[in-house]
Amino acid sequence: MAQLKTDPESTTPVAVDALYAEADDWHVNAGGQTIHAKRITGRWRTIKWAMASVWLIYLLGPYVRWNGQQAVLFDIPNRQYHLFSVTVLPQDFWMLSLLLLFFAILLAVMTALVGRVWCGFFCFQTVWTDIFTWIEERLEGPPAARRKLDAAPMSREKLKVRAIKHGLWLLIGFLTGFSFVAWFTDAPTLWWTFFTGQANGAAYITVVLFTAGTYVLAGFLREQTCFWLCPYARIQGVMLDRSTIIPTYDEHRGEPRGRVKHEEGGERTSGDCVDCNQCVAVCPTGVDIRRGQQEGCITCALCLDACDQVMDKVGRPRGLIRYASLDELEGRRTSRLWLRPRVWVYVLILGLSLSGILYGLTSLAPLELRVLHERAPLFVLQSDGSIQNKYTLKILNKTHESLAVRVRATGHDDLTLVGAEQPIATAPGGVTPATVFVRIPHQALKAEQQPILFQIEASRTTGEQAATERESVFVGPKPRPD
């Protein structure tokens, strides 16, 4: 029992009490208290709205038309993905991996350079929570009033305000889910089918899940999502380095903090921080930025606005809290953006994935050919003495029109192609299988295996020729030793 009392003289277990003392100081935001952040105007607030408005694309995008069709439509039942005039089929989905790579690296590069900008400005969790609390403020008033209302017993007035608030939240949740579904089906039609009970079951389930998810996440969980649920929060945290600029409190300038004392009259003896707590009051995650960089800070920069306002009032220069890197704050030399190897590596990967996608989009071939060589049997001897191989051609027609595809096979002088005398009719946007046979006289075969090239070709209504080819193999018996 006495391991902790290492010092025989001492009767107090020093080590463990120090831990308790530290734990006292260590406040974990587990959501016990709703954070009612103050809303103020300012430069960063404006930037925040501007950035958040990117999400209008998500809400309005489905209604954009292109050539009489929905411009962007992820048509899952038909396995076709329309992006303006380009149609992408599942066969082209390698581009999706590049796209995901692009955004993953973009997230990484942004985080390495300017911290969790995604969290602070773009993340749907942040943006939706922002909108939800904006509604809350319109209806229930500033933070003090909201806290009072929270504590007040239920009354007609409270009920009314709350009902409107939750109604609006649910409405936004619904619009969020509905807009999501609208990317996957004809949007204007959806407005009709959805409310007449004719929409796909998956559409209703999705909308219900999104509505509930939005309502709970933005209405109740809020910063708790960032603290405890979001994996990005953790990943992004480790992508910062000494040269990353993030909202930072300039300790050297601010400390020792002290309240403004009017009776003093003369010069301020303490640092620039007047300990007004405004930076904490505006923080949507309840963080005190003056305690240094911490997991709860989503770098929304709202405390910058708050502090700048205060600095203006007390006649001090702005930027006590500002975007700064650890290096800058510690007076180290900060290296230029383009001198950091990390930036180059990121840019290289970004460039490669982007050019891959561009290459893919510009070279989407109208026809694609797969050739399956029959294995049972690999070959048969025909009664005329020729060796016959069987092939299944899988012709993918990626155009919007039916194409009559002509097939040719080359690779041996005495080869006969059977089964492709007539052009093969292929339906738009799908795979048409066709069975063909290649015959080569037995005596003419020199090797057990030899390559055969299948070429397909079709004329489009535009007059263009669509063509592609694929190599397969011709198998025969082992040549006689003579």
Q: What is the DSSP string of 356-379?
A: HHHHHHHT--SEEEEEEE--SSS-
Supply 337's token pair.
């953006």
**473 within 8 A of 453, measured Cβ to Cβ:** no
Least distance (Å) between residue 427 CB and other proteins: 9
Does residue 380 belong to the site contacting other proteins (CB under 8 A)? yes
Q: Report what 300 binds from other proteins, ligand SF4, none; CB cut-off 5-8 Å by kind.
A: ligand SF4
Q: Which is nearer to ligand SF4, 274 or 357 (CB)?
A: 274
Which amino acid is located at 450 in the chain?
Q
Comparing CB distances to other proteins, the nearer of 97 and 449 is 449
Lookup result for tokens 């292109």: 66
Residue 188, preceding peptide bond in cis (omega within 30° of 0): no
In the window 421-450, what residues touch other proteins (CB under 8 A)? Answer: 424-425, 433, 435, 437, 442
Spatial neighbors of 299 by CB under 8 A, at least 6 apart, are: 115, 116, 117, 119, 120, 246, 247
17 binds, among other proteins, ligand SF4, none (CB under 5 to 8 A by kind): other proteins
Smallest CA-to-CA distance from 469 within 407, 392, 387 is with 407
Tell me how far apart the alpha carbons of residues 416 and 414 are, in angstroms, rounded to a whole number: 7
Choose between 13 and 429: whose C-beta lies nearer to other proteins.
13
Site for other proteins in 227-286 (CB under 8 A): 228-229
Angle in degrees, CA 160, 166, 167, rounded to 5: 85
The verdict on 48 binding other proteins (CB under 8 A) reads: no
Contact criterion met (CB below 8 Å) for 247 and 293? no
CA angle 249, 250, 252 (to 5 degrees): 140
What are the DSSP E strand ranges found in 183-333? 246-249, 321-324
Minimum Å distance from CB 95 to ligand SF4?
25
Out of ligand SF4, other proteins, none, what residue 13 binds, judged by CB under 5 to 8 A for its kind, is other proteins
Is 49 or 93 the residue whose CB approaches ligand SF4 more closely?
Answer: 49
Out of 7, 16, 100, 448, the only residue in the binding site for other proteins (CB under 8 A) is: 16
Q: Say whether residue 384 binds other proteins (CB under 8 A).
A: yes
Shortest distance (Å) from residue 376 CB to other proteins: 3
> For residues 69 and 435, which CB has a smaller minimum distance to other proteins in the complex?
435
CA pseudo-torsion sign 269, 271, 277, 282 = positive
Considering only residues 385, 428, 451, 479, which one is a binding residue for other proteins as defined by CB under 8 A? 385
* Residue 31 touches other proteins, criterion: CB under 8 A: yes
| Tokens coding 74 | 């992820």
Is 36 among the residues that bind other proteins (CB under 8 A)?
no
Q: Which residues bind other proteins (CB under 8 A)?
A: 1, 4, 13, 16-17, 20, 30-32, 216, 220-221, 224-225, 228-229, 374-377, 380-385, 388, 390, 424-425, 433, 435, 437, 442
